[in-house]
Amino acid sequence: MKAKDLKNSILQMAVEGKLVPQDPSDEPASVLLERIREEKHELIAEGKAKFPKGGESIIYIASDGSPYEKRVDAKGCVLSDECIADEVPFEKLPEGWAWARLENLCSVITDGDHQAPPQQADGVPFLVISDVSSGELDFSNTRHVSIDYFNSLDDSRKPCRGDLLLTVTGSFGIPVPVDTEENFCFQRHIALLRPLSCRKFMANILLAPSTYEYFKAKATGTAQKTVSLSCLRSTLLALPPEIEQLRIVGKLAQLMPLVEEYGKLEDDREELDAALPDRLRKSVLQMAVQGKLAPQDPTDEPACKLLKRIRDQRRELVAEKKMKAPKGGESVIFTGSDGRRYEKRIDAKGRESEPACIEDEIPFDIPDSWEWARLGSLCDFGKCRNIEYESVAVGTWNLDLEDIEKESGAILRKKRKTAGESGSTKHIFSAGMVLYSKLRPYLNKVVAADEGGVCSSEILPLDFGQLNSEYAQLALMEPGFVEYAKECSYGVKMPRLGTEDGKQWLVAIPPLPEQHRIVAAFKTFTMNAF
C-alpha cells in the first residue's frame, strides 16, 4: 500500500470511529454540541458571530434510525425538518457520536478579502495558497500589505491563534493550523475557520478522504475549482465525544510519523526504480516551455505579433462562420503598467471587457519576448469533425490510444483501415495537427501527426494554425499541463480532461523562430540522451 493510501485509510478510520475503541462512559457528543451551541448563541448576542442564514441546524436520529435535520430560527421556531440519510458519508454512526454541520462547530467561516490588496515591500504578511500548501504557515517569502489595509479588515478576516485556514481554490482541502500571534492576512482562495471546540480533531476531519470527496463533488469553476463558503458551512461531519476525540488525536500523533517514515522509504525506493530517461525528459520539457532550452534572439519577431495574427485569423474564421466565437469573448493577456499580468475579453464586435488581474494563475516567469495565451485561444479545443468508420477509405491511418507510447508521444504502430473492417465513430485529423488524449491525461499521450487519418473519440485533433505544431506538442506534454489535466479530470475509473478546463490552461508562447529552435534542441537532446 502506498503511504498516501495508508494515511488516507487511517484518517478515514478515525472519522468513522474505527481507529480507537468507544467508551460507553464518555460524555456523548450531543452534550458537547449543546455546549457549543450555547457558546455560539452568546457570541451571536455579543455581535461576535452571526446567526446562520436559513436557520440553525440541529441534527438528530429519529425513531426510524435515520438522521434528520431541522432548522430553527433565532426564536427557536422550526423552519424545516427533513431526513438527510442520503447526505451522510457513511451509515453506521458509532455509539455516542453525533452528526453536525461544520457551521455548528465554528463561530466564523469566511475567506480573504475579494479585492486585490495594495502590496508593498514590507508590512503585514499577505499569504497566498503557495504559502500554506505544505499544511503549515510559511512566512519565508510572503507578499506584504500596509498596516492600514490590515486594520481595515473585519476581525473575522484577521487570523488568531487557534484558528484553522483551509485552501479552497485549486489544491483545495488543505487545513493549516494557526499557531502564531503574528498579524497576517490572506487571499480569498483561503478560508478561515474559527472552531469553538475540537480544533485538532477538526483538522484531521478535513484531511479525511470522505471530506475531500465531498469538497471535490461540490467544487465549482473551470480553470481552478473552488469550494464555496456555503459548501464549507454545510459540510456534514461525524463528531465523537470530546474524550474520544483526544484518544483519536493521540493515536494519530503516534501513527502519522510512522506513515511519514514509511513514505520517505517508499519515495527513496521509487526514485531508485524510476527510469532516468523519464525524469530527464520531463526536466527538458519544463526547460523548453520556460525559455531555458534554446537561446533567445533579439531579432526575432516577438510573440505578441504572432498572437495578434492568430487572433485576426480567428476573427476571420468567425466572420466566415467557419468557427464559433468564443463564449465570453476572445482572451487577450497582457502585462500592465504595474508589471502584473492581466486578461481582457474581446467579443466579435470588438468590445472589450474590463481587464482582470491573473497574476496568481501565472505558473512561472518567461522571457520578455514571450507571451501567455489560453489554450482555447490558440486552437479550437474540443471541436472535432466526426466520421463513421464504415465511411473511412481503405488504407487510412486509424490511430487508437494503445498505439501511442505514454510520456514520449512515440507511435508504437500505425494501423490502416482494411476492407470490410467495422468500428466506432472516429475523429478526422490532418497532417500537422496535434493529437491529444483527453482520457487518462496522466499517461501524457500526445502526438504531432505526420499524415492525415482518423482517431479514437478519446483523442482530440488540435489545429494550432500558425504555431509550430511540434512546439504545441511539447507544451501539452510538459509536466505543468499534465498535472493540471490530472487535477481537473472528472470520472474515477476513466478520468478525462473536460473541454472548458482544457481551454483555460495558460500556454507560454515563444516567438515563432524560437519555437523552431526549441523543437530542434529537444530532438537533439532526446536523440543523444536516450
Domain extents in the chain: 3-265
**Per-residue cell: 517:** 529552435
Residue ranges in the chain whose pLDDT is less than 70:
272-277, 529-530
**Which residue from 433, 64, 19, 344 is spatially nearest to 204, judged by alpha carbons?**
19
**Per-residue cell: 310:** 492568430
pTM of this prediction exceeds 0.95: no
Which pLDDT belongs to residue 13?
Answer: 94
E-strand stretches of 404-526: 426-429, 434-437, 446-448, 453-455, 459-462, 506-509
Cα distance between residue 7 and residue 252, in whole Å:
10
Which pLDDT belongs to residue 477?
Answer: 95
- Strand pairing category for 143-145 and 356-357: unpaired
Which pLDDT belongs to residue 161?
Answer: 94
Cα distance between residue 222 and residue 240, in whole Å:
36
H or E element: which one contains 487?
Answer: helix 479-488
Residues linked to residue 111 through DSSP beta bridges, in sequence order? 191
**Which residue from 468, 460, 469 is spatially nearest to 503, judged by alpha carbons?**
460
417-435 per-position pLDDT tens digit = 999 899 999 999 999 999 9
What is the dihedral angle through the alpha carbons of 250, 253, 259, 263, rounded to the nearest 10 degrees?
Answer: 160
Query: How is the beta sheet containing 330-335 ordered, strand by strand?
Result: 330-335, 341-346, 356-357
Cα distance between residue 148 and residue 49, in whole Å:
24
H or E element: which one contains 106?
Answer: strand 106-111
Identity of residue 292: K
Which pLDDT belongs to residue 89?
Answer: 87
- Specify burial of residue 104 (Cβ count, 10 A radius: 0-12, 13-18, 19+): buried
Cα distance between residue 411 and residue 403, in whole Å:
6
**Per-residue cell: 365:** 516567469
Which pLDDT belongs to residue 268?
Answer: 76
272-317 per-position pLDDT tens digit = 665 556 777 888 999 999 999 999 999 999 999 999 999 989 888 8
Which pLDDT belongs to residue 348?
Answer: 79
- 3-265: CATH superfamily: DNA methylase specificity domains (3.90.220.20)
Cα distance between residue 454 and residue 387, in whole Å:
8
